[in-house]
Amino acid sequence: FGITNVEVEYRESLCTQSAGVSLLLYAADIDITDITNLRRYFTTVLGLSISAEATPHCEGTGGVYLYEDGDSKNILLVTAHHVVLPLSEGSNDDYTYTLPESASNDDSMPLYVMIPSPRKLAEILKSIEQSIDSYSKEIASYRRAIEWWKNRLANDNVDSIQQSRGVCIIDECQLASTKACDNISTLENFLKEFQRDWGENEEQIIGHAARSPPIAFGAGEDEDVAIIKLDRTKLGNAFNGNVMDLGTKITDRDFAARMNPRNHAKDTHTNNDMIDL
């Protein structure tokens, strides 16, 4: 081909492992309670619903987060032995995951853990559909009220007081109907993301069991624990440490009363929808 010279160029590139969609950031300031309550199941707040991939019908919750000693950046999640290794599925053995000597060693496959559990996923899907249906019924009710008052105000016999009241009700119904429509749109978008990002088991895996001693039954005190090594790429920027979700319904007054049941105690807590332990 008449090639007289060849120049070879080396370029450095960064390879990042893809672990699917990352967990969501906690967002307590979203102006729709349905979404705020649903998002929490895809965040790192304490009490997240988990299950082992091998036994999805057995679910539990994540307890607390731990960091490994030394310079390790690994984040661990504490849960119960019976969550990842149900007694009904086998013996009560001491489990420790070790890296396989070869890629073909099936006996050393990790015991993967998923978030949320399949049952919780089904509940979330049903909750979204019910919320959309509820808002749709509200919109229909508001529109009937608007139509009724418009017909009423068209009557020449309506006095000024009724006229003013009817106009206010129509404005309120139109505003509420618009907000309900916006909520439906938000829920539908969340549903699309939910079905796209969390429809497969592989997308739900957040780590694997690293250590789980056998359940020990004692006099008044049992030992039932498992340590999950989390996939940092799955956490993304969503990890906030040991944080509890208080929900969106507790008032500042109730929160203060729960944090300080003794009236003379000094108030050192603030309600910002989350508690950092």
pLDDT digits (tens, 9 = 90+) for 197-220: 776 767 788 899 999 998 887 766
Residues in Cβ contact with 84 at an 8 Å cutoff, skipping those fewer than 6 apart: 52, 55, 60, 111, 113, 209, 212, 226, 228
| Per-residue confidence (pLDDT) for residue 184, from 0 to 100 | 93
Q: How far apart are the C-alpha atoms of 260 and 271, rounded to whole Å?
A: 12
Name the packing angle between helices 118-153 and 160-197 (round to 10°). Answer: 160
Question: How many degrees, rounded to 5, is the angle at CA 121 between CA 117 and CA 125?
Answer: 170
Listed as own residue / partner, the contacts of 171-179 with beta carbons closer than 8 Å and 24 or more positions apart are: 173/142, 173/143, 173/145, 173/146, 173/149, 174/142, 174/146, 176/138, 176/142, 177/138, 177/139, 177/142, 177/143, 177/146
Q: Is the pLDDT of residue 264 over 70?
A: no
Average pLDDT over the chain, rounded to an integer: 80
SS3 assignment, position 114:
strand
Q: Is the pLDDT of residue 92 over 60?
A: yes
| Per-residue confidence (pLDDT) for residue 16, from 0 to 100 | 42
| Per-residue confidence (pLDDT) for residue 100, from 0 to 100 | 60
Instruction: Copy the structure tokens of residue 94.
Output: 């001491």
What number is the average pLDDT over the span 158-170?
A: 89
| Per-residue confidence (pLDDT) for residue 31, from 0 to 100 | 54
Count of Cβ atoms closer than 10 Å to residue 80 Cβ: 19
Q: Is the pLDDT of residue 29 over 70?
A: no
- Across 38-47, 122-131, 201-210, which has the greatest mean pLDDT? 122-131
Q: Which of 36, 42, 43 is nearest to 183 (CA)?
A: 36
What number is the average pLDDT over the span 233-248?
A: 78
Q: Is the pLDDT of residue 234 over 60?
A: yes
- CATH hierarchy code of domain 119-197: 1.10.287
Q: Render pLDDT for 56-74 as a digit per residue (tens, 0 to 9).
A: 888 898 889 988 776 778 8
pLDDT > 90 fraction of the chain, expressed in percent and rounded = 23
Give 136's pLDDT tier (boundaries 50, 70, 90): very high
Greater confidence (134 vs 160) lies with 134
- Report the range of poorest mean pLDDT among 11-25, 56-70, 172-186: 11-25
Question: How many degrees, rounded to 5, is the angle at CA 84 between CA 79 and CA 88?
Answer: 125
Instruction: Copy the structure tokens of residue 62.
Output: 């994540």
What number is the average pLDDT over the span 223-243?
A: 85
SS3 assignment, position 27:
coil
Q: Which of 222, 274, 276 is nearest to 26 (CA)?
A: 274
Q: Is the pLDDT of residue 251 over 80?
A: no
Give 30's pLDDT tier (boundaries 50, 70, 90): low
Domain ranges of the chain: 33-117+202-256+267-276, 119-197
What number is the average pLDDT over the span 248-276?
A: 64
Q: How far apart are the C-alpha atoms of 83 and 23, rounded to whole Å?
A: 21
Question: What values do phi and psi take at 216, rounded to 5?
Answer: -110, 125
Greater confidence (19 vs 171) lies with 171
| Per-residue confidence (pLDDT) for residue 107, from 0 to 100 | 56
Give 148's pLDDT tier (boundaries 50, 70, 90): very high
